[in-house]
Structure 1
Amino acid sequence: MLADEFAFAPVTDTGIVFDGKVWDVRRDTFDYAGSGIVREYLDHPGAVAILALDDQDRVLLIKQYRHPVRVRDWELPAGLLDEDGEHPLIGAQRELAEEADVTAADWNVLSEFYTSPGGSNEVIRIYLARGLAAATDVFERTEEEADIEIRWVPLDECVDGVLSRRMQNPSLVIGALAAHASRARGWSSLAPAETPWPRHPINWDHSV
Structure 2
Amino acid sequence: MKIVDVPEEWEVLASTEHFSGRVISVRTDRVRMPGDTSADRDYVTHIGSVAVVALDDRNRVLLLRQYRHPVRHLLWELPAGLRDVKGEPTVETAARELAEEAAYRATTWHTLLDLMSSPGMSDERVRIFLARGLSEIPEEERDFQHCHEEIGMPVVWVPLAEAVEKVLAGEIHNSPAAAGILAAYAASADGFTSLRPADAPEA
TM-score range, shorter chain: over 0.9
Q: Which runs of 5+ in 2 are unaligned?
A: none
Q: Which runs of 5+ in 1 are unaligned?
A: 199-208
Equivalences, count: 198
* Whole-angstrom CA distance in 1 between matches of 2:88 and 2:12: 27
* Whole-angstrom CA distance in 2 between matches of 1:26 and 1:129: 36
Tell me which of 148, 168, 175 is aligned to 2:173: 168
* Whole-angstrom CA distance in 2 between matches of 1:189 and 1:18: 42
Determine the structure 1 residue equivalent to 2:150. Answer: 145
1:4-153 equivalences in 2 (<5 Å): 4-33=5-34, 34-136=36-138, 137-138=141-142, 139-153=144-158
* Whole-angstrom CA distance in 2 between matches of 1:151 and 1:20: 33
* Whole-angstrom CA distance in 1 between matches of 2:150 and 2:16: 33
* Whole-angstrom CA distance in 2 between matches of 1:135 and 1:49: 19
Runs of at least 4 residues of structure 1 off by over 3 A?
Answer: none
> How far is 1:187 from its partner?
1.4
Matched AA of 1:17 = H
Do 1:64 and 1:147's aligned partners in 2 also have CA atoms closer than 8 Å?
no
- Using structure 2 for the length normalisation, give the TM-score: 0.93
> How far is 1:10 from its partner?
1.4
* Whole-angstrom CA distance in 2 between matches of 1:43 and 1:67: 19
Do 1:30 and 1:38's aligned partners in 2 also have CA atoms closer than 8 Å?
yes
Matched AA of 1:4 = D
Identical amino acids, percent of aligned pairs: 43
> How far is 1:21 from its partner?
4.0
* Whole-angstrom CA distance in 1 between matches of 2:194 and 2:127: 14
Matched AA of 1:56 = R
Determine the structure 1 residue equivalent to 2:188. Answer: 183
Deviations 1:20-39 (A, max 9, x none): 24211022122121222221
- Using structure 1 for the length normalisation, give the TM-score: 0.91
